[in-house]
Amino acid sequence: MALLEIKDLVVGYGRYPVLHGIDFVVEEGEVCVLLGLNGAGKTTTVSTVAGLLKPTSGQVLFDGSSLGRRSPSARVKHGVSLCPEGRRVFPRLSVQQNLRLGAWSQRRHAKTVKRQLELVLDYFPRLDERADQMAGTLSGGEQQMLAVGRALMSKPRLLMIDEASLGLSPTVARTVWEAAARIARDGTTVLMVEQNAGALPFADRALIMEKGTVAHTAVGDDIRNVNLREAYLGA
Ligand code: ATP
């Protein structure tokens, strides 16, 4: 069943449309990778789902119902979480404090916060080793793990991760993608924005964005199909 359904979505900045009526679905429990070059409209897409941008027209359906005019914080409570591009951890707070801030929407549910914290530290043991360290002193890869972990602390049903691999070594990028695949296997649907085709082997569904449209979609084994990679590289 589709957890996220995007229908004829048009979004722009001022008078300039950036998304030209896109359609796609993300099924519950899968990893979906939204792949595209700079400026293709990937960040605009996930920002709209998170409620940070208002669409000109079209629909964002979550679990069958329109997210309509819900605020970004209401969407977090509803199970939609975004780990934004550029990590943006709180540098002067510890790893543990950063994670607890991510659980703000769950602050009245101590058991849930404890459980999510255990889960995040299990996905990213490095964060456990660094629990009391100031976030600003972490390596780039550790900060990315912290940013993903913080987004997970709200106990989302849909976790969106914008450009996790940017600026990371191939090994560290792989660690983050592997964690994303594990998070999805454990039941949290993942939508990853990427420019790096190295994320494709971790995906159950791949969407290639070009100039504000979804130019290609592949599911399952078709993702490993060379044509998809060529379509992207030729984009
Ligand atoms: P990137 O990987 O570089 O973030 P992207 O695929 O995520 O690329 P978007 O960030 O969604 O692309 O940008 C899509 C288009 O919208 C680009 O042409 C960009 O210049 C434009 N755009 C993005 N943000 C704004 C803004 N705040 N005001 C005006 N135009 C914008």
Angstrom distance (rounded) from CA 45 to CA 17: 12
**Residue 163 alpha carbon, nearest atom of ligand 1:** 2
Q: Diameter of the chain by CA atoms? A: 50
Q: What is the pLDDT of residue 109?
A: 84
Say whether 127 sits in a helix, a strand or coil: helix
Angstrom distance (rounded) from CA 159 to CA 30: 11
Q: Is the pLDDT of residue 235 over 60?
A: no
User: What is the band of 1 on the pLDDT scale with cuts at 50, 70, 90?
Assistant: confident
Residues 172-197, mean pLDDT to the nearest whole number? 95
> DSSP class of residue 147?
H
Q: Is the pLDDT of residue 206 over 90?
A: yes
Total domains in the fold of the chain: 1
Q: Tens digits of per-residue pLDDT, 91-137?
A: 999 999 999 999 988 888 889 899 999 999 999 999 999 999 999 99
Residues 159-182, mean pLDDT to the nearest whole number? 94
**Is the whole-model pTM more than 0.85?**
yes
Sole residue written with tokens 């027209």: 57
User: What is the band of 177 on the pLDDT scale with cuts at 50, 70, 90?
Assistant: very high
Q: What is the pLDDT of residue 230?
A: 72
Q: What is the pLDDT of residue 234?
A: 66
Q: Is the pLDDT of residue 56 over 80?
A: yes
Q: Tens digits of per-residue pLDDT, 70-81?
A: 999 999 999 999
Contacts by 163-169, CB closer than 8 A, 24 or more apart = 163/43, 163/85, 163/86, 163/193, 163/194, 163/195, 164/83, 164/192, 164/194, 165/194, 165/195, 165/196, 165/198, 165/199, 166/85, 166/86, 166/195, 167/140, 168/140, 168/141, 168/144, 169/141
> DSSP class of residue 134?
B
Q: Is the pLDDT of residue 220 over 70?
A: yes
Q: Tens digits of per-residue pLDDT, 137-148?
A: 999 999 999 999
Domain of residue 135, residue span: 4-233
Domain CATH number, residue 130? 3.40.50.300
Ligand 1 centre to CA of 114 (Å) is 37
Angstrom distance (rounded) from CA 149 to CA 1: 26
Q: Is the pLDDT of residue 190 over 80?
A: yes
Q: Tens digits of per-residue pLDDT, 83-92?
A: 999 878 999 9
Residue bearing the CA closest to ligand 1, atom 11: 41
User: What is the band of 226 on the pLDDT scale with cuts at 50, 70, 90?
Assistant: low
Q: Which of 15, 20, 42, 85 to mutate to test the pocket of ligand 1 (most atoms within 8 A of CB)?
A: 42
Q: Is the pLDDT of residue 221 over 90?
A: no
Instruction: Name residues contacting ligand 1 (CB within 6 A).
Output: 13, 18, 36, 38-44, 195
